[in-house]
Amino acid sequence: MSDVKTQEHAAGEAAKDCDCKDSSRRAFFAKVGMGSLVVAAAGTGLFSYEYFSPNVLFESAPIIKAGKPDQFAAGTVTLDAQSGIYLINGVKGFYALGAICTHLGCLTAWKPELGTDGQIACPCHGSRFNRDGIKVAGPAPQPLPWLKVWLAEDGNLMVDRSTTLKEPEYVKV
């Protein structure tokens, strides 16, 4: 009989140990489960915030102060790469062209060594334009756009990138 009590006592001790191990394992998995739910909820909140917040592209103003007319020598083509325009001091006066190629939107470059009077060339796809923005070669479907230019009250040349002209306009100074 003492053997039976000893076995029951040993079985009871084992059960207590087993309950402790099960309860600590159960508590561990409960904590891991709750932790993963908290992480999932935080991720959902973050992605929801990104989804509902507006995607705003801040661009510079479409009207650019190009500078004083005496800064541009006669017959020059000046690229303002930051604003994407060419300011040209031609025989008839000042005028501006868009510097973005009409083929795929690449920034063009003035190449004085091309042609007899220099050309505006797209370095990516080979489109070429003359000083007046007319396509000379390449895959561009349209000429470069003429942009509105005027002389401000303070004596600076102003260019409006948002206003394209159908007919060429020159600013005499």
pLDDT of residue 11: 52
106 and 25, same structural domain?
no
Per the structure, the count of domains in the chain is: 2
Of the residues 36, 58, 80, the one at which a domain ends: 58
141 and 67, same structural domain?
yes
Of the residues 58, 90, 105, the one at which a domain ends: 58
pLDDT of residue 61: 75
37 and 97, same structural domain?
no
74 and 11, same structural domain?
no
Q: Is residue 173 assigned to a domain? A: no
Of the residues 35, 58, 81, the one at which a domain ends: 58
- For the cut 80, the answer to whether the pLDDT of residue 19 exceeds it is no
- For the cut 70, the answer to whether the pLDDT of residue 8 exceeds it is no
Please give the residue range of the domain that contains residue 117: 63-165
Instruction: Please tell me the pTM assigned to this model.
Output: 0.62
- For the cut 60, the answer to whether the pLDDT of residue 20 exceeds it is no
pLDDT in tens, 49-100: 988 888 887 777 788 888 888 888 888 888 887 888 888 888 888 889 988 8
109 and 45, same structural domain?
no
- For the cut 90, the answer to whether the pLDDT of residue 32 exceeds it is yes
pLDDT in tens, 118-173: 888 888 888 889 888 888 888 888 888 989 999 888 888 899 888 888 888 888 87
Q: Is residue 86 assigned to a domain? A: yes
pLDDT of residue 33: 93
Q: How far apart are CA 33 and CA 70, in angstroms?
A: 73
Q: Is residue 147 assigned to a domain? A: yes
